[in-house]
Structure 1
Amino acid sequence: MSDDLRETRVLSAVVSLVDSLLDDFDVVDLLTELTERCAELLDVASAGFLLADPLHQLHLMAATSERTRDIELFQLQAEQGPCIDCYRSGEPVLVADLGAQIDRWPRFVPAATQAGFAAVHAVPMRGAGVVLGALGLFDTQPGELTEADRLVAQTLAHIACVAVLQEHPPTLATVVSPLRSALTGRVVVEQAKGFISEVLGVSMDQAFRLIRSHSRSRGEHLTDVARRLMRDRHTRPELVRALTELARGQGQQ
């Protein structure tokens, strides 16, 4: 890809995402789109966002695939890996060859390589002078991030912070409420994914795409649709029927 074409694609992505911030947006949906843009613009296999709660416990907010989701969750369970170190240090952690880091992360490296990943990079999400989380970039081939790649990744991480904190000016006193709101929304989305996966007999990835497609086609927030699925018994049957029809239309049933 030429430098001019790459610059155009990056600027187009940033403009599109900032436009979303200026409109009524759903933070979980936007962070998911950010992971997709990361994978596309940085030419890596996948990406994921980890966000810390007020007690400094990290939670998965978005990922481009279930494989990425699983390895991010493994990092949290094992309490080791590039994203964990990035959050703790507040500095980028760039790992071009994961296999060479077995001594550093003896549990994470075998799990990540078994999942097919050969390189992992992480950049911090900062707001209000504190580290709010980490953006993880996963690739199936060993390789470095260029300076341009690092700048793009950090820019997208900054946009993620703005998305999470936009409800209030980013001060230490005001980050707690939007952080809790974002994390709660992600939990509801995960519950809805599991419910639709079981009811329709589709994968978790497919279930998420169905819920997301339905919400976007109707101009609804992703988390609002998820809450209706999990908490509104009156509208749930109609919503399940709509998702079933959508799955059939996409050839997923």
Structure 2
Amino acid sequence: MIQTARLADLFVEAADALVAELDLVAFLQDLTDAAAEVSGAGAVGLVLADRRGLLRFMAASNDSGRALELYQLQAEEGPCLDCYRTRRPVVNADLATADRQWPRFAPRAQALGFASVHAFPLRLGDDALGALNLFGTTDTRFDPDEVRIVQALADVATLAILHDRRVARSELLTEQLQGALNDRVTVEQARGALAEREGIDVGAAFTRLRERAAVSGRRVAEEAAEVIAGR
């Protein structure tokens, strides 16, 4: 069930971010957190296509969302891949009856405590840049109006990607997607390094990384590079 009372604040926050100097890695992370809050999903993940058209992990609301996204990519099956390939949402999928559709992914998701899944394409005309995935710990079902709302959240992610450096041509868009994915790899490496260095978990390390970026005035990926360099 979508929490409509929070939606207005969410879209205002998104609009504020899009008219400011955008930190895409941080923005997409915030978007997955907000999608989980608004939808009540147990986990939310977001994947983007690289320059070869292969999906790669970009952001997740928690470790479960990250694990589910990475497993889909490893197994080469799951709602995010179906959604990206068809450019159509996967809605109200019951994991208890999805063994035939996703024989490896569905049991793994159930083992992690999830019962339902929805996936929405990051649409750009007739193409897709990636997918936004919502995983429910119960058999969560969206009605048509709720489907439109969550699709709008996925569309906000697309707008953020297009906004960042104002991408216009397809080859520049491909480079922008690749740049965002490269930034995410840098952030992941820095999270691990910071967690080990300060004796904290990786979730707290990401929060610490964002705090450092806010103080320094750098983007999160730039601050991550500083951490990796030992500064």
Gaps of 5+ in 1: 237-253
Greater gyration radius:
1
Report the RMSD for the aligned CA atoms in angstroms. 1.8
By how many angstroms is 1:31 displaced? 0.2
1:183 to 167, 178, 181: 181
Q: How many residues align?
A: 230
Give the letter for the 2:51 counterpart: P
Mark the CA change 1:217 to 1:40 in structure 2 (over 3 Å): closer, same or farther.
farther
| Equivalent position of 1:10 in the other structure | 7
| Equivalent position of 1:168 in the other structure | 166
- Residue 38 (str. 1) matches residue 35 (str. 2): yes
Gaps of 5+ in 2: none
Tell me the SS of whatever aligns to 2:35: helix
Q: Distance in 2 between matches of 1:40 and 1:157?
A: 15
Deviations 1:98-122 (A, max 9, x none): 1110111111011111111111100
- Regions of 4+ moved over 4 Å: none
Q: Distance in 2 between matches of 1:100 and 1:7?
A: 30
By how many angstroms is 1:216 displaced? 3.1
Note if contact 2:83-2:121 (Cα within 8 Å) is conserved in structure 1: yes
Q: Higher relative contact order at CA 8 Å, sep ≥6: structure 1 or structure 2?
A: 2
Identity of aligned residues (%): 37
- Residue 220 (str. 1) matches residue 211 (str. 2): no
Give the letter for the 2:88 counterpart: E
Q: Distance in 2 between matches of 1:82 and 1:170?
A: 29
Note if contact 2:47-2:132 (Cα within 8 Å) is conserved in structure 1: yes
Note if contact 2:167-2:176 (Cα within 8 Å) is conserved in structure 1: no
| Equivalent position of 2:117 in the other structure | 120
TM-score of the pair, normalised by structure 1: 0.85
Note if contact 1:191-1:230 (Cα within 8 Å) is conserved in structure 2: yes
1:156 to 149, 153, 157: 153
Aligned 1:42-61 pairs, distance under 5 A: 42-61=39-58
